[in-house]
Structure 1
Amino acid sequence: MSVQVRQATVHDLDTLVPLFDGYRQFYGQPSDPHGIRAFLGARFAHHQSVILLALDGQGAGLGFTQLYPLFSSVRMVRTYLLNDLFVAPHARRRGVAAALLREAAAHARALGAASLSLSTALDNAPAQALYESLGWQRDRQFCEYGLAL
């Protein structure tokens, strides 16, 4: 399968919305194309994230990843949170996720970032195996916490 990965723009919303909807439904959320279009449109309008889009040879959407810029105060460097990664069911196990992860790393490097980070479910062994095969390392020094507001 031929896979092209490029940075998405607001003009890609028609391709991104169904992919993002599939991503949210994978995590048990209801379908909400209108809300997704507004959410992604705001990210583009305010330059709050970078979305990388994977396309097949005919330009159909295969998957995406979304990066949010962060900064490490201690290290005084830019980092990125790889917050979302999704591949359409018909395109899985064809190298799309690996292509998105490689492009995310290249994009962050090109912008001078010191690192990328992500979180995944403890029982998501396939994703963990993919990450580790591409050089990602599990954090063994810090525990991650959250506070619902």
Structure 2
Amino acid sequence: MAEPDRPLPADRPAGEPSGVRIRRATEADEPVARELWEEFEAEVPEPPGFAPETWDEAWADIRRHIREGVALLAEDDEGPVGHAWAAAPEHGRSHVTDVYVRPRARRRGVARALLAETAAALRELGVEWVSLDVVTSNKPAIATWERFGFVEIEKVMVTELATLEERLGAAGAEGPTFGSVHAQTDDLAGVERALRTFVPRLGRSAGSVAVPPRNGWIAVYDELCSREPELLRRLAREFSDRFGVSIAVGIEAGQVVRYVLFDRGRMVDEYLSVPEFHGPLPPGDVIALGANPTLLQRLTGAEPARVRAVARTAASPVELPPALELVVQIGELLGLSGVDLGYEEALELPGALRIER
């Protein structure tokens, strides 16, 4: 549609407007229509990415509404105070393109009266459904339309082309997925037994590596689990059942960092650097995928202020340090070594205990 569809300014109806008359607009009302249009353009500018229309474009649409749809003007003793335009019906639906009331006439029920007259005129045209557009930032208008029975059915989204290209480039540069499990124990023999017992239940793995304790943690790398985040999570839960505190940490698709912290077999904290990297999530789930400074301090000794500074989340990987850099920072934060290594690299670590299959 050539005419941008814009929001309804706040108007609190209070019965029938006193001293206001509503009539059909005609093409002779062009000066009045332009005056109201210019006021509205100044009060409610177009959102980013949408170029303002010209008066010639707007007037062409208004003339069509006058001829084929509904075009109404509201006036009081001082002159015009508002208007309402609705397009000619298509398949039983008309689109309300503009409703505007001048500030001096608001909170007198003018908008309600304009809409009531519009609805009556649309009924005569055989309309069954009425639609409109409203910018997301105009909360009073949205509340008004919802009170009148309108419901949201779609969203129009916009971004700069440069941003789109940047995000597409980041998404297309998919890298490796790998990770490790770190158990808070010095029982290397117990870790070896757990690996020999549990890993075969997960699937066919070429082998595992257990690295002697460093900073109170034994690191485990498994060929299968390293490349399968869900299996890595299950391995970490198994170690937590046996040893208390364990954490699975790694990089997914070369772009995001995830850790999952367990305490006595129960998952107590999960972090994903880009919560919606794998798809949209409810707002509560997005928040839940942020690091929990209190739990990390209690279970790993990490300083809460450092947790907040390092384990940040974002809407895109480009807003954070590279994943390999970020996972090292998080490892240092938690006192973990070797979080930037996969199974093959871990085979070369000094003192590494190899379990081949």
Length-normalised TM-score, structure 1:
0.74
- Which of the numbers 108, 111, 117 marks the counterpart of 1:97? 111
Structure 1 residues 98, 45: closer, same or farther in 2, change over 3 A? closer
Query: Higher relative contact order by CA 8 Å / sep ≥ 6: 1 or 2?
Result: 1
Q: Describe the SS at the equivalent of 1:69.
A: coil
Counterpart in the other structure of 2:154: 143
Q: Is the 8 A contact 2:70 2:118 kept in 1?
A: no
* Stretches of structure 2 lacking an aligned partner (at least 5 in a row): 1-17, 47-51, 159-357
Q: Describe the SS at the equivalent of 1:65.
A: strand
Alpha-carbon displacement from aligned partner over 1:41-82 (angstroms, at most 9, x marks no partner): 5642683553211111x26100011111242xxxxx321110
Q: Is the 8 A contact 1:52 1:66 kept in 2?
A: yes
Q: Describe the SS at the equivalent of 2:151.
A: coil
Structure 1 residues 10, 101: closer, same or farther in 2, change over 3 A? same
Length-normalised TM-score, structure 2:
0.34
Could you say what the CA RMSD is over the residues aligned between the two structures, in angstroms? 2.9
Q: Within 2, Cα distance between the matches of 1:45 and 1:128? A: 26
How many residue pairs were aligned? Answer: 136
Structure 1 residues 146, 41: closer, same or farther in 2, change over 3 A? same
How far is the alpha carbon of 1:36 from its aligned partner?
Answer: 2.4
Q: Describe the SS at the equivalent of 2:92.
A: strand
Q: Within 2, Cα distance between the matches of 1:45 and 1:101? A: 19
Match for 1:137: what amino acid?
F
Q: Within 2, Cα distance between the matches of 1:5 and 1:119? A: 23
Counterpart in the other structure of 1:11: 28
Counterpart in the other structure of 1:65: 84
Counterpart in the other structure of 1:53: 73
Match for 2:84: what amino acid?
T
Match for 1:102: what amino acid?
A
